[in-house]
Amino acid sequence: YRPTANAGNGTIAAVQSASVEYRDMTTAHITDHSSATPARGGRGGSGGRSRRATGIALARLAAVARWTLAVAACLWIALCVAVGPLYWADSSIADFGAVNWLFAVVGFLVPFAAVVAMTRWANGIPVFGWSSGKNGLHPRRLIPAGARRAAARLLASAPGSWVSRTGRFLARVCVRATDRWWKIALILFIGWLWVPTTLLSAFGADIRSQAREFSWAWNQWTGL
C-alpha cells in the first residue's frame, strides 16, 4: 500500500503500524507451523533402522534356507549310502542294521564337512580355524611344518613348477568354462546325455518287444 500525496502524517503512521502488525502475525504463523511439522531427519533415521532390521532378518532367513538345503542334500546322500548295500545284496529295508547306520553317519558327515569347508574358504576363513602363537594368530593346519617346507621345496624344483603351472592352467580353464550361464547349461546338458543313452541301451530290447506286442494287439483290434 502506497499512501497518496494528500494523505496526512497520521494516515501514513496508521498504515505503517498495520503493516508491521501484519508482518508479525505472518511470521508467528509461519513459526508455529514449522515447529508443528516433525523433522525429516527423525523420520529418515527411523526408516533407516527399520530397513536395516528388515535386511538383517532377511539375511538370517536366507542363511537358514541355505543350510537347510545343504543338510537335506547331505541326508539324502547318507540315505543312499546306507541303503545301497541292501540293494546290492537283493535284501529289504527290514535288514537295516548297525553297519547301515554307520554308513549313514559317514555318508552324512563327509559331504557336510565338505560343504562347511568350502563355505569357510569362500568367506576367507581358514578351514580349520585360527590358532595363536608367538607371532599372533595364524591359520590352523593339520599338516606339520616340516612337511609343508618339504612340499615348498618340491614345488620350487623343476617338476614341481611344471605341476604348479599345470594346476594354474586348469584353474583358469575351469573359470573360463563356467563364467557364463550358457556354458554351465551346456555342460549340464552334455553331462546328462548319459541318461537317455543308458536307458535306450539298457531297455532298447524291451522297448522293441513292447512295440511289437502293441502292434500285434492293434492288428487284432482292427482286424488287419
pLDDT digits (tens, 9 = 90+) for 33-82: 444 444 444 455 566 788 888 888 888 899 899 999 999 999 999 999 99
Q: What is the average pLDDT score of the chain?
A: 76
Judged against a pLDDT cut of 80, whether residue 186 lies above it is answered with yes
pLDDT computed for residue 52 by the predictor: 85
pLDDT computed for residue 224 by the predictor: 63
C-alpha cell at 163: 605341476
Is residue 60 located within the same domain as residue 112?
Answer: yes
Residue 102 forms part of a structural domain = yes
Q: Which of 105, 127, 149 is the last residue of a domain?
A: 127
Q: Which of 65, 98, 127 is the last residue of a domain?
A: 127
* 110 within 8 A of 81, measured Cβ to Cβ: no
pLDDT computed for residue 45 by the predictor: 59
DSSP assigned state of 139 = E
Residue 31 forms part of a structural domain = no
Residue 209 forms part of a structural domain = yes
Is residue 120 located within the same domain as residue 178?
Answer: no
Residue 3 forms part of a structural domain = no
pLDDT computed for residue 109 by the predictor: 94
What is the average pLDDT across 93-103? 87
What is residue 105's three-state secondary structure? helix
Q: How far apart are CA 95 and CA 98, in angstroms?
A: 10
- Residue-range definition of the domain harbouring residue 106: 50-127
Residue 81 forms part of a structural domain = yes
Which residue, chain included where needed, has cell 553331462? 191
Residue 14 forms part of a structural domain = no
Q: Which of 75, 109, 127 is the last residue of a domain?
A: 127
Residue 164 forms part of a structural domain = no
Is residue 112 located within the same domain as residue 55?
Answer: yes
Encode pLDDT of 117-150 as tens digits: 888 888 888 877 777 767 777 777 777 777 878 8
What is the average pLDDT across 15-23? 47
Is residue 62 located within the same domain as residue 116?
Answer: yes
Whole-number percent of the chain with pLDDT over 90: 21
pLDDT computed for residue 131 by the predictor: 72
Domain count across the chain: 2
Q: What angle do CA 81, 199, 186 make, to 5 degrees?
A: 85
Residue 199 forms part of a structural domain = yes
Is residue 115 located within the same domain as residue 57?
Answer: yes
The type of residue at 25 is: M
Radius of gyration of the chain from its Cα atoms, rounded to whole angstroms: 40
Return the number of other C-beta atoms located less than 10 Å from residue 74's C-beta. Answer: 19
